Every structure is written in structure tokens, then in C-alpha cells.
Amino acid sequence: MRVSTAMPRATTLPRLLPEDGNPESIRAHLARHGRIPYRGNTGVLIRDLEQSGLAGRGGASFPAHRKFASVLENAAKRRVAPVIVANGAEGEPASSKDAALLGLAPHLVLDGIQLAAETLGADRAYLYTHSVKLGDHVRQALAQRHEDLVAVEVVVAPPRFLAGQETALVSHLNGGPAVPTFSPPRPGERGVSGLPTLVQNVETLGHLALIARYGPQWFREVGIPDGSGSLLSTVRRPDGRARVFEVPFGLPLRDLLGDPTWIGAVLLGGYHGTWIHTDQALRLRLDNDSLSAVGASVGAGIVVALPVDACGLIETARSVRYLALESAGQCGPCLNGLPRISAALTDLARCRAGRRTLGDLQRWSGLVAGRGVCHHPDGTVRFVRSALETFAGEVERHMRGQCGATRREPFLPVPSDVARAEEDWV
Amino acid sequence: MSKQQQKLRVDWTACVGNGACAELLPELIELDEWGYPVVDGRPLPVLLEREARSAVAACPKLALRLMQS
């Protein structure tokens, strides 16, 4: 067994991102972390993953070791080599942490892919990103590497909100449009080319590359028992600038948000996430145990502080319009429900709601939740319902034809490029 | 009970709101205001297994599925 010669690093952050904030060449990467600590056998790393408690960083917080174990088992049963996919298709407009990681520390992610390939006996690997520029950047990084076990193909996904959803990713890598599909089979059973496929977020693979070097104990020295290690969090404060921080699980949100005087409300988890009141946010920590008290979760680490002079309803309506346009349009309830929800919310935001608007919103929300092949309707409804609750006072004012906000320029980032035709999903 | 419980599921990418399922299995399926099935997600009662199978077989899009829960 080859053991890493790198010295265990101090338990300070950042771990993933280079301290100087500059993109890391292979030389800088090797100087910081040493060579890839291959284990010389399949399966070995899975125990380390389990002890580390590493959970997926793409949003669902699924235990990494369980995904690995199930892909390994499925591949063994069928006597085939599985496929590895590093998922960097960050379709969520409020998140930029995967782009930051791929931009600054591509070699850490690429090390993670190689270690995952060795662990599962995979002979094919992909890096899936939504950005042509990042794709080129990763290809340049790949050209600098000499110790890789498997070739990594960089695939650029269409810039769709849903393109990073696991089944959409598999559909795209199989030559189809990047739209979600019915499951089972899960990608871990039958994914790319029908083979068992491990899909892990790029940040998860970055952590894996560190756990392989410094061990699960080291990994757990940051964070809390229920949420081990650090995570990349995209934070948007009232100044509107997005910043990516590497923070420990369990960090008080207060420390991320800055001065609460200027914050009207807080959005956790992005456009499939949950609005909460500022005073609630100030009592919570960035971990699933703490956030579950308000029905929220860490997700992909998005934290947005809405400026106190902005209207939460106007902001939500703009984002929901985007979500409705970005529906893949495959599932009846989503196709019919999201545009109606969006239109009703826009009426409410513009103080043009009628007597039936709120009732319609509640009914349609109930009708789309849980009725699609992906979680787009569920996530959108969570976002809408939490807005109606958190901005209940503003809803009442809007029903009387008044809006308390003075700020008119949009705050939440909403891409102007939305899906209009089938070609936009290819 | 040794038999595994079953559940009705809809492949929403295939369903076009034809409505045959709701006609054949009104005990468990009704249609929403857009004509798409609202399926009771609970385990399928044994007494309705035969009707459920007919509804699954009757869907022209093969969108209704009976799955082990």
C-alpha cells in the first residue's frame, strides 16, 4: 500500500481552496498536497469515507460512502467496470462554489476522480460542467497531469437550471438532451452506457482527495459530529456581491451574514430553498440539524441576505418566473402548474392580485409538489410557500395595493438566457 | 405477510393525461384540474390489486407503473 508522504495539515481553513486565492497549477497543487495517494486496490477508500462522514455537497447531503458501496456492488454483480462522473454543472444561479473550486483547485477535483476510479475499478470518467470556459480550464489542467489511471473526458452541459440533476446528466452523457428521466433505474444501477455510474459533486470529490491524503480523523477535526468537515458556501450580502467561503459545518449564520441591520430576510439553499426571517437566521447554524428546525437544509451551501429595502415578493416572483421557464416541460403538473404559479405570484408582486390569487397559489402548489420525475416542482413550491410565509406582512400590504419596498433594481441573480426550444437542452 | 407491498407510480414524462387510469381505478386515482392523475401514494390494498393491474395495462402511454415499495 502506498501511503501519502504529505504532512498532515493544520486544521485551519481553507482546505480545498488555495490560500492565496490564485488558480493552482499542478506544481502548486503538488507542493501543497503531494502526489495522489493511490491505495493499490478497489474498495479500500470506502471505509475511510464512511469514517469521515463525508456527505455529498451537491445539495442532497447523501452519505458518499453509501453511493460508492452501492455502485461497487452493482458493478461486481454484473462484472462490469463502472463509470465516474464529477458533477460541476452548477445550474443554480445563486451558487458559484463549484465554479470557484474548478477554477482555483482543478487538480484536487481531478485527484478525487482518479481515487474514485481506483476505488471502484472504473475505466471511464467524465467531468461535467455547464461552462465552456471552465471546461477549457479543466482540459488545460488535465494536460499537466502524468499520474492519472483513467482518462477524463470533459463534457459541457447546456446552461440549464436542471442540467446537473443526476438523471439529466446521465441522459446528456448518453447523447440525449439534459432532461431528467424516470427512475428507477437510478444512475448507480444503470447510468452512462447502461453501466453503474457514480455521480458525485465536484466539491465532494475534492474532499475525497483530501480524506485519502490526511485521513478521516483529520477531516472530522472541522465541523460537528452530524456535519463533518468544511463546505463551500456562496454568500450574497445586501451589497449584492457573491462570495464563496470555505466554512466549517455548524458555523453560526450570523458570522456569514454580516451586519443584520440591512437584511430584510434570508434565503437558504437557493431557488429550491427556503426563505426565513432575519431573526430566525441569526439563531441558526449552517448544518442540517439546526436548519431543519425551520424546514430548511444546507443544500449546496447558498446563503442570501435580502436587502431590507427590497421586496421579497417581487424578488421571489422574478426567480419563480425563471424556474417556470426552465421547467423541462415533460411532466404535466409541472408544465401546467409552474406557469400558473408564476403568473399569480407576479400579480401579487405587482399589487394586482385578485380575491382568488392566494387560494389559487396554495392549490396549485399542492398540485405540483411530488408530481414530477425530478424535484423541480417540489423545490419551486418550497421556495414559493416559504416566501408567502416569511413575507406574510408584505402579502397583506400588496393585497391592499401597497408595496413597502423602495429599492427597484433586481437583487437575486436571474439569467436572461432561458430555455426556449428543444435545442436549448442538447 | 410474505408478499412485498406494491405502489402505483406515474412516469410523468410519459403521461399525457389520457385519463383511462382514473376511469378504471376511481378508488385510488382522480384527475387534477389539468387532467393528470392524482395517485394515492400509499401501499396498494390487496383487494384492489386486480383493478390496479387493469389500469396499468390500459394506459396507452405505459405511464402508470406498479412498483415494489
ipTM: 0.93
- Does 1.10.645.10 match the CATH number of domain B6-68? no
Write the CB contacts of A119 (distance below 8 Å, at least 6 apart in sequence).
A39, A42, A43, A44, A45, A46, A68, A72
Residue A181 with chain B: CB contacts under 8 Å: 13
Nearest CA in chain B to A367: B32
CA distance B37 to chain A (A): 9
- Check CB contact under 8 Å for A182 and B14: yes
Residues of chain A with CATH 1.20.1440.230: 312-406
Q: What is the pLDDT of residues B8-45, one digit of tens each?
A: 999 999 999 999 999 999 999 999 999 999 998 889 99
**For each successive 10 residues of chain A (426 residues), what is the average pLDDT?**
43 90 96 96 96 97 98 98 98 97 98 98 97 98 97 97 97 98 97 98 98 97 95 97 97 95 97 98 97 96 98 98 97 98 98 97 97 97 98 98 94 93 91
- Check CB contact under 8 Å for B13 and A373: yes
- In CATH terms, the fold of domain A312-406 is de novo design (two linked rop proteins) (1.20.1440)
Residues of chain A with CATH 3.40.50.11540: 26-224
- Does 3.40.50.970 match the CATH number of domain A26-224? no
Q: What is the pLDDT of residues A311-328, one digit of tens each?
A: 999 999 999 999 999 999
Three cell numbers, residue A44? 479500500
Residue B15 with chain A: CB contacts under 8 Å: 331-332
